[in-house]
Amino acid sequence: MSYTQLTQDERYHIQYLSRHCTIAEIAKQLNRHKSTISREIRRHRTQGQQYSAEKAQRQSRTIKQRKRQPYKLDSQRIQHIDTLIRRKLSPEQVCAYLSKHHQITLHHSTIYRYLRQDKSNGGT
């Protein structure tokens, strides 16, 4: 089942309908699962316990903006990684070494991704 975020219009519908309808009725009208509506209302209540579409949309935008961009490896980091991999260190060990000795913080999945890409481009 594919995942789609609630739209701003849906959030305003939830705000309006939540005053008069049950969660099940709102879900049916918006063609969403009950748990989606329930979770949305629970997360975005105001101090007065009313659902706020404005608050929900603002938080959604903030979260989207905070998402990290794909990490780019520069040539110096690639050189470090290649050297350590040739020394038979695992990507996890490479991460630990770079963190300890070079203050470079990487996730091992970044190194695995680099190695896969390098191999598909004809590297070793």
Q: Is residue 2 part of a domain?
A: no
pTM: 0.55
Q: Which pLDDT belongs to residue 20? A: 92
CB 14 within 8 A of CB 4: no
Which residues make Cβ contacts (< 8 Å) with residue 115, sequence separation at least 6?
85, 91
**Backbone phi, then psi, for 51, in 5-degree steps?**
-70, 135
Give CA 122 to chain center in angstroms: 31
Q: Which pLDDT belongs to residue 38? A: 95
Q: Is residue 91 part of a domain?
A: yes
CA angle 119, 121, 124 (to 5 degrees): 35
* Torsion angle of C-alpha atoms 101, 105, 109, 113, degrees rounded to 10: -80
Task: Determine the structural domain holding residue 107 and report its residue range.
Answer: 75-120
Same domain, 79 and 49: no
Residues of the chain with pLDDT under 70: 1-2, 68-71, 124
Q: Is residue 108 part of a domain?
A: yes
Same domain, 60 and 16: yes
| Number of structural domains found in the chain | 2
* Six-digit token string for 30: 């918006």
